Chain A
């Protein structure tokens, strides 16, 4: 059973550059979530998709961030004009919608460092 995968695992970029991360969910899962985790904190919700529809976005998701999930399969998270404050771990999770007990399964994350 293949879990959630993310690519790349690590990314170093210079301030002002654009970066894109990919997430491949567990195949039968219809929901996909993005979270951001900074040092010493728990993950914070960014956005989620049900199938291909983006249903919820956090206020943390500035205009420089965009996420897509074409065809309801993999998802990409793009950050434009990166800033040093974007340095964090970006976590993807997937789940199958089943009410309050729905469990989100996480990928290994992408560590971003903006120099």
Chain B
């Protein structure tokens, strides 16, 4: 069964420093996609970055990068040069094609607090 594990309920980082948010996943499907979303206190889920299981290189989008280690089934999000506006919940999610499902399966999230 699909499963996403985020082991860090909360993380703190100083403004302008980098931070890594952990995500491990479990699937038996060789084809899958991994996504990270940001959820500010307003509630909207904001798409940040995507990594496909067959992608040879780690995904990057501006200050966000994904440290994808396929053998370890991990897809950690790295945020460089943290800003106060990065304070939010961050969710890792996975989509595979097992059983023809199109849904995203989410982890429980990590609350990131950026300190000035």
Q: Which residues of A line the B interface, CB within 8 A? A: 31, 33, 35, 40-45, 48, 55-56, 58, 89, 91, 93, 97, 100-109, 111
Docked Cα-Cα span, A103 to B97, in Å, equals 14
The distance in angstroms between the C-alpha atoms of A101 and B43, with both chains bound, is: 24
Report chain A residues within 8 Å CB of B31. Answer: 100
**Which residues of B from 56 to 109 have beta carbons under 8 Å from A?**
91, 93, 95-97, 101-109
Pair B106/A44 contact, Cβ less than 8 Å: yes
The CA of A69 and the CA of B107, in the complex, are separated in Å by: 28
Evaluate contact between A42 and B109: CB separation under 8 angstroms.
yes
Whether A108 contacts B44 by the Cβ 8 Å rule is: yes
Q: Give chain B's interface residues, CB within 8 Å of chain A.
A: 4, 31-33, 35, 37, 42-47, 50, 52-53, 91, 93, 95-97, 101-109
A31 touches B43 (CB 8 A): no
Determine if A41 and B97 form an interchain contact, defined as CB atoms under 8 angstroms apart.
Answer: no
Instruction: Determine if A45 and B105 form an interchain contact, defined as CB atoms under 8 angstroms apart.
Output: yes
Could you tell me if B107 and A56 are in contact, using CB atoms closer than 8 angstroms? no
Q: In the assembly, what is the distance between CA of A8 and CA of B45, in Å?
A: 17
B101 touches A56 (CB 8 A): yes
Of all A-B residue pairs in the complex, the 9 with the closest CB atoms, nearest first, are: A42-B106, A106-B45, A45-B103, A108-B44, A109-B43, A100-B33, A42-B91, A43-B106, A100-B31
A93–B44 alpha-carbon span in the complex (Å): 10
Choose from A40, A45, A107, A108 the contact partner of B104 (Cβ within 8 Å). A45
Chain A residues closer than 8 Å to B4, beta-carbon distance = 42
- Cβ-closest chain A residue relative to B29: A100
Give complex CA distance A97, B101 in Å. 13
- Cβ 8 A contact of A91, one of B32, B45, B108: B45
In the complex where A105-B47, A106-B37 touch, is A56 in contact with B52 (Cβ < 8 A)? no
Whether A103 touches B35, Cβ cut-off 8 Å, given contacts A31-B102, A56-B102, is: yes
